[in-house]
Amino acid sequence: MKKAENKLRWEEIAGIWDKGIGEEGDIRHKLVINPIVFEFLGNLRGKKILDAGCGNGYIARKMAKTAKVVVAVDFSDGLIKRARKKSQEFTNIDYRVKNIEELSLPDKYFDLVGVYPV
């Protein structure tokens, strides 16, 4: 599938995805992905983190509770809009509508990079 078609598809299903994932993830996220990801990431205090493919931002919000900065990137405008709406109390999350391949930041800017299975 071409990038433009993939992006269009995600825009079409952004609301469905957001509702299904919610604030904890679907059953796969709750039981498998979340525990593994957070055990692997370890202590996030004071860290700068890239959440690549952040979707509705639920993992970014979890990380932002202790991380210094979370840059949360997704190429779906619809998902980023939903993420921003749910994250208003977090001043340390920087949501960006961007293809991760086009993200431009200085080398070694992040302490951790998270890319999670859909």
pLDDT in tens, the chain (118 residues): 688 898 899 999 999 999 999 999 999 999 998 999 899 889 999 999 999 999 999 999 999 999 999 999 999 999 999 999 999 999 999 999 998 888 888 889 999 988 776 6
Distance CA 44, CA 48 (A): 8
In the chain the domains, ranked by start, together with CATH numbers, are 3-115 (3.40.50.150)
b/e for 9-41, b at 16 or more Cβ within 10 A?
Answer: ebeeebeebbeebeeebeeebeeebbeebeeeb
pTM for the structure as a whole:
0.90
* Residue 6, token pair as written in the block: 């993939």
